[in-house]
Amino acid sequence: MSLELSYLLWSAVLAFVYMMAQAGAYRLQNGLVEADPNRDVQPPPDVFTARATRALRNFHETYPIFIVLVVVTEFTGRGGPLTGWGAAIWFWARAAYLPIYVGGLGLVRSAVWGVSAIGLALMFAGIAIDCMFP
Containing structural domain, residue 120: 3-132
CATH code, 33: 1.20.120.550
Query: What's the number of CA atoms in the CB half-sphere (13 Å) around residue 9?
Result: 6
Count of domains forming the chain: 1
Does residue 22 contact residue 53 with C-beta atoms inside 8 Å?
A: yes
Q: Residue 49 and residue 15: Cα distance in Å, rounded? A: 17
Q: Residue 21 and residue 124: Cα distance in Å, rounded? A: 30
Q: Which of 106, 102, 116, 101 is nearest to 11 (CA)?
A: 116
Per-residue pLDDT of the chain (134 residues; tens, 9 = 90+): 999 999 999 999 999 999 999 999 988 888 776 666 776 667 788 999 999 999 999 999 999 999 999 999 999 999 999 999 999 999 999 999 999 999 999 899 999 999 999 999 999 999 999 777 76
pTM: 0.91
